[in-house]
């Protein structure tokens, strides 16, 4: 079973944006794999959360999707970050950092 | 904004989007599978493993799609479509439910339209209508003679001059006038208004201006304001009509304006075509100079309340003198709503009838909801398995409840839609029933958005009421139990079910018997014996040229007419006479407070009376049962009373020779008693007396009895010879009778519609309950039949449980029916409230309904195959 830790709302979108920030177009499976490997197998995102998240990003216009051939020559949709998405990444990143600091403060009272 | 555009784009390209998504997810699954194959050894199960690993692809697809569409909207649409498919599979059930709902919603909406939109609304088209009050005078003395009515003109003037709590006071009076000249002259309803009428009430006038204070002076140039509809129907809505002349009672009036359309449905203006200054009243010379009475309204002065107005006018009213010389007891100050007028909200008024019908409808509605709930419950029982499967596949309970509720809403909304159609048409029919002919309902009814919303709301509430319980019930089973258990809801008894069934049966018995009695009554009315000559008698009314006839000339005209009629060749006419009113089968004519010499004025009763010429009873062939008929030499001081009046005033006594008092001083001696006749009503004969006609004072109607038809040509010639300007109109009495009979059919029809639906409801209700019983006990029946039970025993078994409820309902219904028929007694045209035909008819109907409701379930029970039933588990 794929295991997805309970993420804060919106965090998955942030992670996808960050993953795409490298500039290379990636397909959904690739994104999931990248998340998994980068997080040392902690973040195993199932498609039932991945694809709705991607659709949300498409809807908001932060990523675009184009169809192309995958490494094993199958048709796949490749996602790229848009300019708006890049801006959003900065904003969300800042928000997320603030949140982490806040949580940290709660967990380690001075 | 961009989001919205993308969503719209999605909706347009939905298929493409979904294909893309499916392909993308399939690609993902394939990649996952590949990886699993690479990493693990047993390749055969890799595909399954991949499927397991990435979970529910359909759910992923649904969720992804949900991002684009507001998900609830989509699922709502799905539910509705599913519900429609489901309902189409059971057209009979659907038709009955929709029809019943449509009727109940339609009728109810109609009533609400009428009551809220019309009866409780202050005059439309009037500025700040809530500050306008109507003033009525409380009649002299107390008791039954106390009536509330208009003010004498002099009293109005006092109020207008001296009332400080009113910033403006106006008076109106309805009047029939002749508009046009010669043969094209038409009798037209006009409203006489005082000079400040248009400004005080703030009535819009466009084009032109309203009647002003300067127009309401005896010396003023006569002016008229047109009603909006009249302007359109008779002047083509042409603004150029302002400044032109219209002839009213042969006097030219200058048209100065057109009153607003809104105001035309305010009570005083309703049905009126013209507004004329009050001083124009004496222009109609057939009437004595205007002294009594006018309707008075006023606008509250700033800061004043109705109570202050009442207190002030109460004081002023002590100076008022009524036309018969008596003093009023005070005033009543009300709003301008139709229902606020004194006497309208009482227990016999149209409002009471409307509320009674409304209450009845509410009951029918509740029973309908309960009934449909029962039906849905029975259906839900059949679907427990399906619902169990859905629950086990991961559907949430809330989702299922919503789906079942949606089914209810689809039903209710279809019913509501048809109901709105009914509501658009019915108010007019209903008003006819409620108002009857006696009280023309002075309103225009508009069916508008509010009504639409109300009907939909009612439909929505219905759906919630009848849909919720079954939905909750059907989905409460736990998955395993639902899948294993035999068909049927988890065992539980519904005593409520039996009770509801009994109530339904009882109510439909009451409604059916009432409707049956009313219909029999109407049937009887068509053939009833009015107690006097109707078919051969024709009434002739006269329109004398305005202004040309004083009392002496009137007397001479009618004397000439009588001589000419007597001079006709023998056998042309059988008899003729004069009266202030011809018999119209409704209570029309003067009502006078009557009391006996040893009674006080407070004990007076209102009695209808008509002034007649000596030959009148002979014309109508009403026999004298005691005393004598009128004689030509009779003075005004004698009267002939009918049997009802004799019984009411002199029970067990001979009234001939007795005296009664009219008002304070006037007295009459009873010289004769005539047999009761339905001259003034279709149903009960009211007390009535005739007194000799005062020749010359009024313009009476001529009544001619002739078995060979009325010689109208001769009549016209006679009149023309006397005065060619006089116009006559002939109406056979049978025409009045036909109109009344036609009217009296509306009530029974409404009753029959309600009764029919109650019966349909009860039948469907019984059917549902019986069918459910069979379904629930299929297995038990199978065992019994396997053990050798006879089919008849099985049928008894199935039907017995609820038959008791049906029987109880029948008994209760019979009692209710007897009670209601006693209430209806005086609408039955003399039919006995225990008319066996009506009761038998209802019994037959109910038996048929019971048979229809139990036949199918019983047959189903008998056909249970023991083998199938037992193998069921």
Please confirm whether the linkage preceding B293 is cis (ω < 30° from 0).
Answer: yes
Stated as kind and residue range, the H or E segment containing B851 is helix B836-862
pLDDT in tens, B186-204: 778 888 888 888 988 888 8
Evaluate the CA torsion angle B357, B361, B367, B370 in order and state its sign: negative
DSSP annotation of A25 reads -
In angstroms, the separation between the Cα of residue A42 and the nearest Cα of chain B is 15
What's the angle, vertex CA B454, arms to CA B449 and CA B456, rounded to 5? 95
Claim to verify: residue B324 and residue B272 sit in the same structural domain: yes
Tokens for B750? Answer: 């409404």
Residue B202 contacts residue B249 (beta carbons within 8 Å): no
pLDDT in tens, B59-72: 777 777 767 666 66
In angstroms, the separation between the Cα of residue A83 and the nearest Cα of chain B is 15
| CB–CB contact B65 A55 (8 Å) | yes
CA gap B92, B787 in Å, rounded: 35
Angle of helix B449-474 versus helix B91-114 axis, rounded to 10: 140
Residue B700 contacts residue B613 (beta carbons within 8 Å): yes
Which among B28, B52, B68 has CB closest to A47? B28
Claim to verify: residue B505 and residue B579 sit in the same structural domain: no
Which among B28, B31, B64 has CB closest to A52? B64
Check whether B685 has a pLDDT greater than 70. yes
DSSP annotation of B269 reads G
| CB–CB contact B24 A32 (8 Å) | no
Range 60-99 of A in CB contact (< 8 A) with B: 60-61, 67, 70, 72, 74-77
Looking at the DSSP bridge assignments, the partners of residue B702 are B540, B578
Claim to verify: residue B602 and residue B716 sit in the same structural domain: yes
In angstroms, the separation between the Cα of residue A13 and the nearest Cα of chain B is 13
Tokens for B656? Answer: 């001939």
Residue of A nearest to B33 (CA): A29
Chains A and B: how many Cβ contacts under 8 Å?
82
Residue B235 contacts residue B227 (beta carbons within 8 Å): no
Domain that holds residue B673: 537-736
Ranges of H-type helices in B664-745: 712-722, 733-743
pLDDT of residue B55: 62
Claim to verify: residue B375 and residue B319 sit in the same structural domain: no
Range 6-25 of A in CB contact (< 8 A) with B: none
Claim to verify: residue B732 and residue B749 sit in the same structural domain: no
ipTM of the complex: 0.82
In angstroms, the separation between the Cα of residue A29 and the nearest Cα of chain B is 5
Tokens for B873? Answer: 């588990």
Ramachandran angles phi, psi of B161, nearest 5°: -80, -35
Higher pLDDT: A1 or B226? It is B226
Claim to verify: residue B698 and residue B597 sit in the same structural domain: yes
Domain boundary residue, one of B736, B756, B786: B736
In angstroms, the separation between the Cα of residue B400 and the nearest Cα of chain A is 22
CA gap B106, B594 in Å, rounded: 45
Residue B760 contacts residue B96 (beta carbons within 8 Å): yes
Ramachandran angles phi, psi of B824, nearest 5°: -80, -5
**Beta-carbon count within 10 A of B289 CB:** 8
Q: How far is CA B792 from CA B800, B803, B849, B851, B865, in A?
A: 12, 15, 20, 15, 15
- Is there a domain that residue B266 lies in? yes
Higher pLDDT: B361 or B509? It is B509
Ramachandran angles phi, psi of B474, nearest 5°: -70, -30
Note whether A3 contacts B: Cβ–Cβ < 8 A. Answer: no
The answer for residues whose C-beta is within 8 angstroms of residue B219's C-beta and 6 or more apart is none
CA gap B174, B153 in Å, rounded: 14
pLDDT of residue B640: 92
CA gap B368, B587 in Å, rounded: 39
| CB–CB contact A77 B24 (8 Å) | yes
Confidence tier at B439 by pLDDT (50, 70, 90): very low
Confidence tier at B441 by pLDDT (50, 70, 90): very low
| CB–CB contact B28 A70 (8 Å) | no
DSSP annotation of B700 reads P
Which among A29, A52, A75 has CB closest to B63? A52
| Residue numbers in A near B17 (CB within 8 A) | none
Most B CBs within 10 A among A1, A27, A48, hence the mutation to make, goes to: A48
Residue with tokens 């398995």: B385
Most B CBs within 10 A among A55, A71, A76, hence the mutation to make, goes to: A55
Higher pLDDT: B366 or B488? It is B366
Q: Compute the half-sphere exposure of residue B325: CA atoms within 13 Å on the CB side of its CA.
A: 5
Range 48-67 of B in CB contact (< 8 A) with A: 52-57, 59-61, 63-67
Claim to verify: residue B230 and residue B278 sit in the same structural domain: yes
- In angstroms, the first-to-last Cα distance of chain B is 58
Domain boundary residue, one of B701, B721, B736: B736
Which has the closest alpha carbon to B638: B571, B689, B596? B689
Please confirm whether the linkage preceding B207 is cis (ω < 30° from 0).
Answer: yes
Confidence tier at B482 by pLDDT (50, 70, 90): low
Q: Which of B51-55, B338-342, B548-552 has the lowest mean pLDDT?
A: B51-55
Residue of A nearest to B49 (CA): A1
Q: Exposed, middle or buried, B274 (CB in 10 Å: 0-12/13-18/19+)?
A: buried
Check whether B615 has a pLDDT greater than 80. yes
Q: How far is CA B178 from CA B185, B222, B367, B508, in A?
A: 6, 15, 54, 52
Ramachandran angles phi, psi of B20, nearest 5°: -55, -45
CA gap B19, B13 in Å, rounded: 10
CA gap B759, B819 in Å, rounded: 19
Check whether B244 has a pLDDT greater than 60. yes
Claim to verify: residue B372 and residue B515 sit in the same structural domain: yes
| Residue numbers in B near A28 (CB within 8 A) | 24-25, 27-28
Which among A1, A29, A55 has CB closest to B28? A29
Claim to verify: residue B258 and residue B287 sit in the same structural domain: yes
Which among A2, A56, A74 has CB closest to B67? A56
Q: Which of B11-20, B33-42, B161-170 has the lowest mean pLDDT?
A: B33-42
**How long, in residues, is chain A?**
110
- Is there a domain that residue B417 lies in? no
Stated as kind and residue range, the H or E segment containing B41 is none
Residue of A nearest to B60 (CA): A48
Confidence tier at B285 by pLDDT (50, 70, 90): very low
Higher pLDDT: B114 or B350? It is B114
Which among B24, B54, B64 has CB closest to A2? B54
Query: What is the four-CA torsion angle of B610, B613, B615, B621, rounded to 10 degrees?
Result: -10
Check whether B145 has a pLDDT greater than 60. no
SS3 string of B93-120?
HHHHHHHHHHHHHHHHHHHHHHHHHHHC
Q: Helix, strand, coil shares of chain B as percentages rounded to 5?
A: 55, 15, 30
Claim to verify: residue B472 and residue B555 sit in the same structural domain: no
Most confident of B53-67, B89-103, B603-617: B603-617
Claim to verify: residue B518 and residue B562 sit in the same structural domain: no
CA gap B70, B378 in Å, rounded: 33
**How many domains in chain B?**
4
- Is there a domain that residue B429 lies in? no
Which has the closest alpha carbon to B543: B138, B181, B871, B97? B181
| Residue numbers in B near A61 (CB within 8 A) | 2-3, 6
| Residue numbers in A near B56 (CB within 8 A) | 48
pLDDT in tens, B151-197: 887 888 888 888 888 888 998 888 777 787 766 777 788 888 888 88
Tokens for B599? Answer: 């009674």
Claim to verify: residue B514 and residue B592 sit in the same structural domain: no
Residue B196 contacts residue B168 (beta carbons within 8 Å): yes
Which among A32, A47, A52 has CB closest to B66? A52
pLDDT of residue B125: 81
| CB–CB contact A51 B63 (8 Å) | yes
Residue B688 contacts residue B660 (beta carbons within 8 Å): no
Residue with tokens 């309401």: B216
Range 66-125 of B in CB contact (< 8 A) with A: 66-68
CATH number of the A11-107 domain: 1.10.10.10
Which among A28, A52, A61 has CB closest to B24? A28
- Is there a domain that residue B121 lies in? no
| CB–CB contact A55 B68 (8 Å) | yes
| CB–CB contact B27 A74 (8 Å) | yes
């Amino acid at each position: 079973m794929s295991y997805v830790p309970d993420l804060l709302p919106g965090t998955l979108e942030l992670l996808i944006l960050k993953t795409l920030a490298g500039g290379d177009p990636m397909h959904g499976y690739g994104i999931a794999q990248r998340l998994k490997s980068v997080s040392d197998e902690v973040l195993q995102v199932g498609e039932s959360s991945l694809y709705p998240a991607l659709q949300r990003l498409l809807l908001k216009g932060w990523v675009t999707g184009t169809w192309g051939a995958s490494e094993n020559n199958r048709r796949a949709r490749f996602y790229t970050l848009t300019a708006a998405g890049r801006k959003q990444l900065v904003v969300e990143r800042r928000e997320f950092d603030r949140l982490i600091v806040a949580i940290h403060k709660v967990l380690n009272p001075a | 904004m961009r989001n919205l555009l993308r969503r719209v784009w999605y909706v347009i390209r939905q298929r493409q989007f979904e294909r893309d998504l499916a392909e993308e997810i399939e690609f993902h699954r394939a990649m996952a599978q590949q990886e699993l194959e690479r990493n693990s050894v047993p390749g055969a199960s890799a595909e399954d493993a991949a499927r397991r690993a990435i979970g529910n692809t359909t759910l992923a697809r649904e969720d992804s799609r949900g991002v684009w569409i507001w998900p609830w909207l989509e699922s709502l649409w799905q539910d509705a479509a599913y519900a429609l498919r489901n309902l189409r599979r059971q057209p009979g059930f659907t038709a009955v439910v929709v029809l019943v709902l449509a009727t109940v919603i339609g009728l109810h909406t109609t009533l609400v339209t009428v009551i809220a939109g019309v009866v409780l609304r202050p005059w439309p088209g009037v500025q700040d209508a809530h500050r306008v009050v109507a003033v009525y005078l409380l009649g002299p003395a107390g008791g039954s003679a106390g009536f509330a009515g208009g003010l004498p003109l002099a009293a109005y003037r006092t109020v207008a001059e001296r009332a400080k709590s009113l910033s403006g006071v106006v008076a109106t009076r309805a009047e029939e006038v002749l508009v046009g000249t010669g043969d094209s002259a038409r009798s037209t309803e006009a409203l006489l208004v005082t000079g400040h009428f248009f400004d005080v009430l703030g009535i819009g006038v466009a084009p032109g201006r309203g009647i002003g204070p300067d127009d309401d002076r005896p010396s003023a140039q006569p002016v008229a304001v047109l009603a909006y509809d009249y302007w359109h129907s008779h002047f083509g809505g042409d603004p150029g009509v302002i400044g032109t002349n219209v002839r009213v009672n042969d006097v030219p009036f200058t048209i100065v304006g057109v009153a607003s359309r809104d105001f035309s449905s305010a009570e005083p203006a309703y049905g009126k075509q013209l507004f004329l200054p009050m001083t124009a009243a004496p222009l109609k010379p057939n009437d004595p100079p205007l002294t009594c009475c006018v309707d008075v309204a006023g606008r509250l002065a700033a800061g004043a309340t109705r109570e202050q107005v009442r207190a002030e006018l109460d004081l002023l009213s002590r100076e008022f003198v009524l036309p018969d010389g008596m003093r009023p007891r005070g005033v009543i100050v009300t709003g301008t709503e139709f229902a606020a007028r004194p006497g309208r909200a009482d227990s016999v008024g149209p409002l009471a009838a409307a509320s009674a019908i409304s209450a009845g409808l509410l009951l029918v509605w509740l029973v309908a909801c309960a009934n449909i709930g029962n039906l849905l419950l029975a259906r839900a029982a059949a679907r427990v398995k399906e619902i169990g499967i859905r629950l086990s596949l991961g559907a949430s309970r809330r989702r299922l409840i919503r789906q079942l509720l949606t089914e209810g809403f689809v039903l209710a909304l279809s019913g509501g839609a048809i109901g709105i159609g009914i509501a658009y048409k019915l108010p007019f029919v209903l008003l006819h029933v409620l108002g009857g002919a006696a009280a023309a309902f002075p309103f225009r009814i508009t069916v508008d958005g509010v009504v639409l919303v109300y009907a939909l709301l009612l439909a929505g509430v219905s759906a919630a009421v009848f849909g919720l319980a079954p939905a909750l019930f059907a989905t409460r089973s736990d998955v395993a139990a639902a899948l294993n258990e035999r068909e049927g809801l988890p065992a539980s008894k519904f005593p409520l079910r039996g009770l509801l069934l009994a109530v339904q049966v009882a109510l439909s018995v009451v409604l059916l018997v009432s409707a049956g009695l009313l219909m029999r009554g109407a049937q009887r009315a068509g053939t009833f014996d009015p107690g006097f000559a109707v078919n051969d008698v024709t009434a002739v009314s006269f329109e004398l040229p305005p202004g040309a006839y004083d009392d002496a000339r009137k007397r001479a005209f009618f004397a000439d007419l009588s001589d000419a009629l007597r001079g006709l060749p023998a056998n042309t006419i059988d008899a003729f006479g004069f009266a202030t009113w011809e018999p119209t089968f409704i209570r029309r004519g003067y009502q006078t407070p009557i009391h006996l010499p040893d009674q006080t004025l407070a004990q007076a009763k209102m009695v209808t009376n008509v002034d007649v010429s000596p030959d009148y009873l002979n014309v109508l062939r009403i026999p004298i049962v005691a005393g004598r008929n009128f004689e030509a030499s009779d003075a005004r001081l004698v009267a002939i009373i009918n049997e009802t009046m004799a019984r009411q005033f002199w029970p067990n006594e001979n009234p001939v020779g007795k005296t009664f008092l009219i008002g304070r001083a006037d007295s009459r001696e009873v010289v004769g008693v005539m047999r009761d006749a339905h001259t003034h009503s279709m149903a009960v004969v009211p007390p009535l007396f005739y007194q000799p006609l005062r020749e010359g004072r009024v313009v009476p109607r001529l009544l001619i009895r002739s078995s060979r038809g009325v010689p109208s040509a001769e009549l016209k010639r006679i009149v023309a010879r006397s005065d060619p300007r006089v116009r006559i109109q002939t109406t056979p009495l049978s025409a009045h009778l036909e109109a009344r009979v036609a009217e009296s059919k509306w009530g029974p029809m409404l009753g029959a519609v309600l009764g029919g639906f109650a019966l349909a409801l009860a039948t469907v209700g019984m059917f549902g309950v019986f069918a459910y019983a069979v379904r629930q006990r299929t297995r038990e029946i199978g065992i019994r039949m396997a053990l050798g039970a006879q089919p008849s025993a099985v049928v008894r078994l199935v039907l017995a449980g609820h038959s008791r409820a049906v029987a109880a309902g029948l008994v209760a219904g019979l009692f209710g029916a007897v009670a209601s028929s006693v209430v209806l007694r005086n609408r039955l045209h003399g039919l006995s409230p225990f008319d066996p035909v009506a009761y038998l008819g209802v019994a037959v109907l109910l038996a048929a309904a019971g048979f229809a409701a139990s036949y199918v379930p019983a047959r189903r029970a008998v056909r249970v195959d023991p083998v199938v039933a037992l193998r069921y588990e």
